[in-house]
Amino acid sequence: MRTGGNGVQNGEGRGPGRLRDLAALQRIGAVLRILRIIGIVASVAAFLVFVFSDNWLARVMERAVRQELEEEGLTPSDMRPTPIEGFSVAGTAPVEGDLYGSTLSADGSGVWIASGDGRLIHYGIAEGTVTRSLPLDEMPSPRDVALAPDGRLLVADPSGIVGYVDSDGNVEVVYRREGAAVELFPVQAVQDGEALLILNGGPSPGIVVWTGEAAVARYGYGHVTDMVARDGYVYVSGGHESGLPVAKLSRAGVDTFVPVDTTWIWALSYWDRPFVSLDVDELGFITIVDQAGHLVQLSPGARVILHAPPHGDGLGDARSVTALPGGALLVVYARGLRTYRLNEAGTMMREAVVAASRGDGPGALLLFEQLVEREPRLQSLRRWLAGAYLSLERPQDAAKHFYLASDREGFKAAVAAEAYNVRKNRLWGVWVMIMAVTVVIWTLDALLSFLLEAWTEEEA
């Protein structure tokens, strides 16, 4: 038997210590196997939570939003449905006659108004009074007037006469519908040689396209109170009986007009009288007025932003609204006119909407926040502010304001976006970390198993 230099046998000298080391490694291996199983279970659980956590996160976030609002003392029931009162009265002018439709003059200096006593009246914006009166011999009771592309005025009479009027009041009759008890107005000039008329009443009411050679009913819309042609689209307003108070139409094919999409169809719950007129300004904002003179302005995307309460003051029913340069408005009543200008809140709101439409999210958000500080209980403002937050990827802030605006769909979208962010930024990180630890444990376990196997073979 061989011995070492100290006279101790090699195998016997290493035996007890190696056995103790081997036992310790086996215990460590058992622990690592347990940790590996725990890691696998945790990884699977984290993955399932990552995949199926939306509903749970939505409930957690909704509770958090409600708790935050309760601490601030705000609830949806505290909010008012009306938009911002964005206009103030700039002037009032009683006018003799029976006033109806109106249109901005070619040079923007005034407004032409059709009067039921057989006249066209020009109201000068700078002068603040009537500057011209043109008698129309061919038309006993004109009801609407529109500016043609060549600068002439296209006038419609309910008797079925439509004609161009020159600067001297001479009428060139271009369309005459006889023998039918209908109202052939309002009217809009679209392009040279073509005009849009509204046929209210009769067996087939709707939009009529007149080309100088023929007039064909193109869209059966029901009763229409006003119509504006802008940039290839036709905006129409109607009474309650139409079912479509305001719609934006486009020409589809040869023989029909169709709504652009359903977001353009509005039925406002606080409206108690029929719409009588609408107009579209240079920025695309749509203003509508009801019979009582209540003004509401929509954004180019057809969302309510501003309003002005009625100010009749003995002028009779409202008949028409015309958008003036700079955001001002002219409302024509049966016996007079009233001009409105934007107040500070109205100006800020329009600027915020324009900023949002141009992609300036931070600028729009700043203006909306300032407006909410001024008017904290308006649902429409909360909805706009929520949209600004959502566009800037701040869904948790957006959810709070959607909730106050009672916008359930917007709230769900914001909650879903926040749940996605939590899942992506937090749960994904947790799952990756658990997977990484599990892989490390698995590697250590495999390495330890290899060492144990090697030692066992050496002992054998």
| Domain end position, chosen among 342, 365, 387 | 342
d(CA 290, CA 312): 12
Residues 398 and 444 in one domain: yes
Answer yes or no: do 432 and 371 share one domain.
yes
352 and 296 housed in the same domain: no
Structure confidence by residue, pLDDT tens digits, 30-65: 776 777 777 677 767 666 665 566 677 677 777 888
- Separation CA 265–CA 267 (nearest Å): 7
Segment 320-365, tens digit of pLDDT: 999 999 999 999 999 999 999 999 999 999 999 999 989 899 999 9
pLDDT band at 144 (very low <50, low <70, confident <90, very high): confident
Lowest mean pLDDT among 54-58, 132-136, 157-161, 248-252: 54-58
pLDDT, greater one: 219 or 345: 345
Provide, for the chain, the percentages of residues in helix, strand and coil under a 3-state DSSP scheme, each rounded to the nearest 5: 40, 30, 30
- Structural domain total, the chain: 2
pTM: 0.73
Looking at the fold, whether 390 and 295 belong to one and the same domain comes out as no
* Residue 163 · residue 138 · CB < 8 Å: yes
- Regarding whether 355 and 316 lie in a shared domain, the answer is no
> Which range marks the domain in which residue 351 is found?
44-86+343-455
Residues 337 and 386 in one domain: no
Query: What is the Cα–Cα distance from 375 to 362, expressed in whole angstroms?
Result: 20
- Please report, rounded to a whole number, the percentage of residues in the chain having pLDDT higher than 70: 68
In a domain, 189, yes or no: yes
- Provide the pLDDT for residue 240: 45
According to the per-residue pLDDT averaged within each range, which of 15-19, 169-173, 204-208 is highest? 169-173
> In this structure, are 102 and 194 located in the same domain?
yes
Same domain for 323 and 206, yes or no, is: yes
What mean pLDDT comes out for the span 73-85? 82
Which residues lie below 8 Å from residue 387, measured CB to CB, with a gap of 6+?
A: 356, 398, 410
Write the Ramachandran bin of 206: left for phi over 0, alpha for psi from -120 to 50, otherwise beta: left
Range in 35-49, 65-79, 182-196 the model is least confident about: 182-196
